A and B are shown apart, each in its own frame.
Chain A
Amino acid sequence: MTTSLFAIVGHPNKGKSSIVSTLAQDESVTISPIPGTTIDNRYYPMIVDGETLYALVDTPGFQRARAALEWMQKQPGSSVDRANIVRMFVEEHHDDPRFAAECSLLTPILDGAGILYVIDGSRPFGEEYEAEMEILRWTGQPSLALINMIGDSDYSEEWNIALGQYFRIVRIFDAMTADFDRRIQLLLAFGQIREEWRESLQKAVRILEEEQQRRQKMSARMIAETISRMVTYTRQRRLSGDGVSNEVRDSLQQVYKRDLTAIEQQCRSDVEQIYNHTHLERHEPHVQLLDEDLFATQTWLLFGLTQQQLITTGALGGAATGGVIDLAVGGASLFLGAGIGAMIGGVSAWVTTDRIADTKILGLPLGGKQLSIGPMRNINFPYVVLGRALYHHRMIEDRTHAHRDPLELKQQPAWLQSADTEHRKRLEKIFVKLRRQETLNPDLVDALAEQIQKLMELPVAETIPPPQQDVAKGPPLPPGEG
């Protein structure tokens, strides 16, 4: 299998480095509006387990193309000698600082690299491009022209005409907004310029597609774990007296909200890391608490028993005692013993909990009061969290590494995109279990991850609202507007 090499060449500031950054998924590539930022060739090989499938070469832009072409044109020789003349130029000027850029960019081409000539399709064609296109034609190497749409204006028509005279294949490619499929299509197009490169590029595409699937799966798993944690998250604070001041409630609510935000933001960072976006700046409104009252005052007891648990314990103990009586009378009591026992046990525990909590042994209290916040019972909450996570994932999945602006996550997320009824029912079933605090079952997280992955694979479509919420609680809220 022949390793293919592609030299990304062109005028300065036309997005060569952006295209390399996007295709190589490398955010370390310097993208600068200042011409001449790239001063040396930089290789970006795609290596899979030690095997190089293809390599991109980011090159400096042409700086003195007219002078270089004039030198070449002055050399004697016919059309068949042109590639040699270009070689002669490089050999003769490789130490000449005037032609450092031209020599750098022509070297990989003369070594057999395919030419990917990049222009900005949002700016008009100019006659200054002709010299460099002519030089590239002289090399005789297979080539492809990429119209990179940097700005909003569209001059692609006139560029198509101009480029068509020098290049067999012309493609439009926006390095900033190209999603994964477009990047794959471009790689496949590279294979069209030389037959023997096709195989390695197809292999590269297959591997990248598998990698994308793995990334989706891992992201789905992370999102599922995050939702499970957020939906079931609670926080307690022990109280010194009986009363609960507003300050205590506010402060606990702040801490609770901060914790939820931290859990969610950790998930965002983890997903970004999966997609190699390690230095991304993100702007996202914090998740809102959708429940009106998340607070509960409980009695805490030594060994972590809550009042409810103590009542259950009492009831079970009573039932067991009553059950012995039922057994003794051979069941003639119709299990009244167990029933009454459970009732007595439960009520006794309920009545005495506070008293137990007030008891001190060796100066240490056996219990006390605590203020508890969470979990979030609002039926919309998991949908909101899922929607935000899916939206973020979509943004990251489609975001190119050439895109250096902060990630803005302020729009209405396209969650639950094209999910069918069956799919949504399955999701709701999982959320119902989550709300019942059944997170302790890892299979539930697996099931949620599976559903999330299916949602990720759906195309973005109309938003489907979550299940009807309790009228008293108002309409479903978009994230960030609680």
Chain B
Amino acid sequence: MTHSSLIGDLIDLNSALKSDRSTDNDEKKQRDRAIGQALQQQRNSPARQLRGWLEQVRLSAWKRDGHHAAQLYHVLCVILVFAGLATGWGLARAVLYYTGNAPINIVNALGLLVLPQILLLLFWLLSTVPNRIPLLGSLQSALRFLNPGRLTRHLTRFFPARSRQSLSLFWDDAYATALAPATRWLFSFWSQLFSVCFNIGVLLAAFYLISFSDLAFAWSTTLNIDATTFHHMLSALSWPWHTLFPDAVPSPELVEISRYYRLEEGSIGNASAASELAVQLGQWWPFLITAIICYGLIPRLLTLLISWWRFRHHLDHALPRLPGSPELLARMNSPLISTSAPQPESVVEFDAGSGDGPSESGRYALKCAVIDWSGTGVNSASVAKQLQTMGISCEEFLTAGGSRTTDQDSATIVSVCNLKPEGVAVIVKSWEPPLLEFLDFIHSMREQCNRQQPIIILLWGGRDGVDGRDLETWQLTLRQLKDPDLHIEAMGPAQ
């Protein structure tokens, strides 16, 4: 896979995960598990599995994001290639500028074309070694900051917003935990790409000048270095290729004759006088070219390859770290568990606002038949006492519900009707909700006895008293009967 497709996938996956946030959770689970099962063989390779997922769910909008980012990446690479070639070409033309009057100082050429490369290579190495040594971290962060590849991100501001935004993921702090290593190697890749092209530019310019002009080199330094020492230094510099290309190692004679001050004034320009010397002074070029290749191009190719490989590696590792990826992988690789109901629930809507419901009149002046519903266990004497405080005098104490049969309930209703009381009080357990059989009982009593007779439901809460929520439940349920003569009262706690 190429970088651009890796970058495209990363951007697409991020877009997909972002847009997936609004998708229903159950829908996601079902979709992703189905894809996960189809990609079961890639279970141990999360990045491949995520790409497989992306292939199956990819929407055109996401694909465009990745495509734009990959395009921008390509364009930036091309810019860097041209910038590197132009800079290398330009610098080499400047350093190897030769009018025929004064030879090119080889020390100057080495100082500008080779030595900085060795130094920068050292910096690159320092910035990439694992951070195990104290204080190395700060140095590394400074070196990474100085990485010219970082400047490439600033070039993106000259591109359309869509492309710029899609690639900006790499330097967005919110994605740092997932993408920082990949971003570091992306900058490294860009800087090394520039460097390789720079070296190629230098070499192209050098070859051009060597081919189409007659260059002469000399060496000169104000430092107290004699020819022998200089030769030793050059030999040391040439050590890597001295066996492979012995002609590219300057001989002691060449060093000796090309010392600048030894050349007579104008001797280079005077071809008839020094044509042999001119040929000899031109013999420096194999050394210079080999030095650039050995210390510039080859290491940079190597660092480019390493950066490419590391960038690719970290891009792969970044996929499962993107926000939402771990959850997606979990959905794909763990069994699809559903414990909820597949069908929506159908529930009864209660009318909570009706005004025709049971009222809490509070004070009565009634002689009532009192029915103990469902065996509340109340003491009839103490109940009678409590009812008196409410203005209710107990005419007869009856029982219904609970362990009695429905026939017995009917008999109770007949007894109540025969009594013809001013009202009926039904004592119920407040904590037990009103069942339909209780409503049946009230309804039958209303049907069989006096239709306007007040019926008072007395909620008994046992030793704890009546809970407010229970009272509410009773009120709401009895309100459905729409009986204006039905009242609810909460009794005090049991004594």
Contact = CB atoms under 8 A, between A and B. Distances in A.
Interface of A: 11-13, 23-26, 28-30, 32-40, 42-50, 58, 61-67, 70, 98, 101, 120, 123-124, 126-128, 130, 151, 153, 207-208, 210-211, 214, 218, 221, 225, 228-229, 273-274, 276, 278, 303-304, 309, 312-313, 316, 320, 323-324, 327-329, 436, 438-442, 445
Interface string B449-479: 0000000000000101001010011001100
Contact of A328 (B223, B337, B346, B348): B223
A218 B145 contact: no
Contact of A128 (B37, B317, B401): B401
B336 A26 contact: no
Contacts of A24: 339-341
A313 B123 CA distance: 13
A438 B176 CA distance: 10
Given A39-B346, A47-B338, A70-B406, A124 B462 contact: yes
B234 interface: no
Contact of B406 (A45, A67, A126): A67
B342 interface: yes
B473 A48 contact: no
Contact of A66 (B119, B223, B405, B469): B405
Given A34-B477, A128-B402, A440 B181 contact: yes
A13 B474 CA distance: 12
Q: List the 4 shortest-distance A-B pairs measured between CB atoms, nearest first.
A: A440-B180, A35-B433, A26-B340, A63-B436
Given A35-B434, A49-B37, 10 more contacts: A12-B435, A35-B433, A38-B347, A42-B341, A218-B330, A274-B327, A312-B142, A439-B176, A439-B177, A440-B180
30 contacts: A11-B432, A12-B435, A23-B339, A32-B347, A33-B469, A33-B473, A34-B348, A34-B433, A34-B473, A42-B345, A44-B339, A45-B338, A45-B342, A47-B338, A48-B336, A49-B33, A50-B336, A64-B440, A70-B405, A127-B375, A128-B374, A153-B464, A218-B327, A303-B151, A312-B142, A312-B145, A320-B119, A323-B119, A440-B176, A442-B178
Interface string B111-124: 10001000100000
Contacts of B326: 218, 221
A36 B436 contact: yes
B137 interface: yes
B433 A12 contact: yes
A303 to B, nearest CB: 6
Contacts of A214: 330, 334
Contacts of A35: 433-435, 473, 477
A46 to B, nearest CB: 5
Nearest to B402: A127
Contacts of B405: 66, 70
B276 interface: no
A207 B337 contact: yes
A28 B341 contact: yes
Contacts of B177: 225, 228-229, 439-440, 442, 445
B337 A48 contact: yes
B334 A211 contact: yes
Contacts of A207: 335, 337
Given A273-B25, A439-B177, A441-B180, A33 B472 contact: yes
B403 interface: yes
A46 B337 contact: yes
Contacts of B374: 126-128
B321 interface: yes
Given A33-B469, A123-B431, A312-B142, A28 B402 contact: no
Nearest to A98: B436
Contacts of A274: 327
A374 B37 CA distance: 45
Contact of B339 (A36, A46, A65, A309): A46
Interface string B366-409: 00000000110000000000000000000000000111011000
B473 A36 contact: no
Nearest to A213: B334
A193 B277 CA distance: 109
Interface string B335-364: 111111111111110100000000000000
B437 A66 contact: yes
B302 interface: no
A126 B436 contact: no
Q: In this complex, which of B37, B151, B174, B403 has the most chain A Cβ atoms within 10 angstroms of its Cβ?
A: B403
